[in-house]
Amino acid sequence: MNGKTILLVEDDPTIALIIRETLAEECGVFAAVTTVAERNAWLTENTPDLVITDVVLPDGDGIDSLPGAGLDPDVPVIVLSAQNTLDTAVRATGIGSYDYLPKPFDLEDLTTSVRAALGRRRAEPAAAPEPGSADSHGLVGRAPAMQAVYRTIARLASNDLAVLILGESGTGKEVVARAVHATGLRRAGPFVAINMAAIPRELIEAELFGHEKGAFTGAHSRSAGRFEQAAGGTLFLDEIGDMPLDAQTRLLRVLQSNEYSTVGGSQALRADVRVVAATHRDMRSLVADGRFREDLFYRLNVIPVTLPPLRDRRSDIAALIRHFVEAGRASGLPDRQFAPAAMQMLERYDWPGNVRELGNVVQRLAVLSRDTVVAVRDVEAVLHESGEGHPILAPADAIRRAVDDWAREELAAAEQDGTIHERLQAIVEAALLRRVLRDVRGNQLEAARRLGINRNTLRKRLGQLDIDPTRV
């Protein structure tokens, strides 16, 4: 225990009690209040070493009201919130909070953050987002898999570091890039996007850097490139993994020197942009195969943001569907509701095309469904017509089919070694343990509780299955 003072602002008595018990040995004085008014009154008489605050309080907003509470600007703040959107993460960063933990949070994460916060001064406040900006800046969903994305974007608001967005096709990489721009220091400047896979190889340099009149056949006048168009703002290089090696070399020189020249030109121009790149490819494999420059990869991969596939955030599907229905209605499409069984069918589907495919399906359902309420038969018809070839199965049926396929191949082997049951058990158990650990963010005590086993048994099985709980 040390002599530090922690102030907790939390109106849920159960959460407050758990936090008090968890942090009992981290401070000398632990004070707890439940409202903005109580917090302000406490601060007039006391000076804490750390403030932990909820956002939605009975008499106000824990974030918006904090700058006027008379708190010493050197006191670190940890924000807790069930309002798990990018907007909340950005607002928390905007007041200079030391950390933002979405509810439900891991108590080990809270303890680690508290120890670190008490040991250092908080960072300079980041610029707050423009008032009236759309909530979450186009990003929809509160699944745990999205919370790390929101927190990373919020922490990018106060700097100009390069960003590399990774994820499968259709996961929303450009939406994230626009959110990085909209919440960052350059939000008043332009956002310019270019898709490397859509530009002919011989035109990429001219597209990026511009060209002078007569630089090549067909260049009848000077043309500004994307670096020039994005000056003062953000340049989004989509599908960077498809960039030819010769263009990679020139891009690297620009990122190193912050200068470039147009094709056919000799004057050095300043590259005044923040670079955000994205790809669905495995960049490390491209580097290993010699198809992408290692030095350029490290220049771009300063802050990586990995987007989860939709199948790993199924709890967001209903919210995404509502978002697409509202967007379609604004564009003149019929308003639609979804029967519970139809919604469940959409939530069970694997969505190989991710959020983009979901949006397309919702639009087709809005147009083709005869009734206001979309039924199961409507969903079946649209998904089967899409030609994706991914059948919709209940989870248990999908497991049974997968086991049947696996066992058929194993039993067809020329020789059996008597380990088929043991190997299948290891495969299934490992998948279950990884899923539970991801859902509880690596908290082994909570994972053991959900699995119905004790913690020592869980640790033993993790070791036997070679599973690192910090990397699931």
pLDDT tens for residues 65-119? 988 888 888 899 999 988 778 888 888 887 778 888 888 888 888 998 898 888 8
Q: Residue range 19-38: average pLDDT?
A: 91
**Low-confidence winner among 176-180, 314-318, 417-421, 445-449 (lowest mean pLDDT):** 417-421
pLDDT classification of 251: cutoffs 50, 70, 90: very high
- Cα 436 off chain centre by: 19
pLDDT digits (tens, 9 = 90+) for 35-61: 999 999 999 999 899 999 999 999 999
pLDDT digits (tens, 9 = 90+) for 270-303: 999 999 999 999 999 999 999 999 999 999 999 9
For residue 404, the one-letter residue type is D
Q: Which of 437, 435, 440 is nearest to 459 (CA)?
A: 437
Cα 421–chain centre separation: 38
- Is pLDDT at 130 greater than 50 in this prediction? no
What are 443's two structure tokens? 């908290």
Decide if pLDDT at 124 tops 70: no
Q: What integer pLDDT is reported at residue 158 of this predicted model?
A: 86
pTM assigned to the model: 0.68
CA–CA separation, 304 and 278 (whole Å) = 10
What b/e readout covers 19-49, taking b as 16+ CB neighbours within 10 angstroms?
beeebeebbeebbbbbebebbbebbeeeebb
pLDDT for 398 equals 67
Span 426-448, pLDDT tens digits: 899 998 998 898 888 888 888 99
Q: What is the dihedral of CA 411, 414, 418, 420, to 10 degrees?
A: -30
What percentage of the chain carries pLDDT values higher than 70?
91
CB-based contact 112:441 (threshold 8 Å): no
Lowest mean pLDDT among 94-108, 147-161, 355-369, 407-421: 407-421
**CA distance linking residue 24 with residue 119, whole number of Å:** 17
> Is the confidence at residue 240, as pLDDT, over 90?
yes
Residues 297-345: tens digit of each pLDDT: 999 999 999 999 999 899 899 999 999 999 999 889 999 999 999 999 9
| Contacts with 153 (C-beta within 8 Å, 6 or more apart), sequence order | 86, 89, 90, 176, 179, 180, 183, 305
Q: Is 91 left (phi over 0), alpha (psi -120 to 50) or beta?
A: alpha
In sequence order, what are the residues at sequence separation of 6 or more whose Cβ sits closer than 8 angstroms to the Cβ of residue 157? 90, 93, 94, 126, 127, 129, 183, 184, 185
The H or E element containing residue 436 is helix 420-439
104 prior amide bond cis, ω within 30: yes
Confidence (pLDDT) at 413:
63
Which helix (H) or strand (E) is 81 found in, with range?
A: strand 77-81
* Buried residues in 433-444 as b, exposed as e (16+ CB within 10 A): bbebbbbbbbbb
The mean predicted confidence, pLDDT, of the chain is 86
With a cut of 80, say whether residue 419 has pLDDT above it.
yes
Confidence of residue 252 (pLDDT cuts 50, 70, 90): very high
Say what the pLDDT of residue 440 is. Answer: 86
Contact 337, 371 (CB under 8 A): no
In Å, what is the CA distance from 288 to each residue of 138, 168, 204? 35, 20, 24
